[in-house]
Amino acid sequence: MKTFKKYYQIPASPEEVYLALTKEQSIQLWTGAEVEFTEEPGTEFSLWDGDITGKNLEFDYGKRIVQQWYFGEDNEPSIVTIKLHEDKKGTSLEFVQTNIPEGDFEDFTEGIDEYYLGGLLDFFEDQ
C-alpha cells in the first residue's frame, strides 16, 4: 500500500474551495458527472458516476475534509485528507491519501491530478 501527497495552488479563497468540494451542486459543476454527496460525517458519497465512492469522516469548514475512499472490500481503508491553507494566490490545497493499492497507484494518482484536483483547478481558473 502506498501514500500519495501533493500540494495544489488554487486561485480562490479556502472557503470557496471548501464549498466546491462539499456541495453536491458545485461538485456536479466542476466534474460534469453524477454526484451523490452530503456534507455530514458518516454519510456515503459517490463521484464521477460512481467511479469514486466512500464515506465522509470529518468536516472543518474552510479548512479540512477527511474521507474514506473505497478500493474494494479486501483492502485497508484508504483515508483522504484535504487541508486548505490561505496564501497570497488564494488557496494552498494539501491532498494526502493513504493505503492506495500498489497496482492502482499510478493510474489512480494520474486521475487525481488530471480529473479530480485538475478539474477543480480548471474550474477556478476559468472563472
* pLDDT for the residue 5: 97
Domains of the chain with bracketed CATH: 2-125 (3.30.530.20)
Q: Give, as one character, the DSSP assignment of residue 77.
A: P
* pLDDT for the residue 74: 66
Q: Low-confidence residues of the chain, pLDDT below 50?
A: none
* pLDDT tens per residue, range 9-41: 999 999 999 999 999 999 999 999 999 999 999
* pLDDT for the residue 77: 81
CB 1 within 8 A of CB 101: yes
Q: Which of 119, 122, 90 is nearest to 14 (CA)?
A: 90
CB 42 within 8 A of CB 58: no
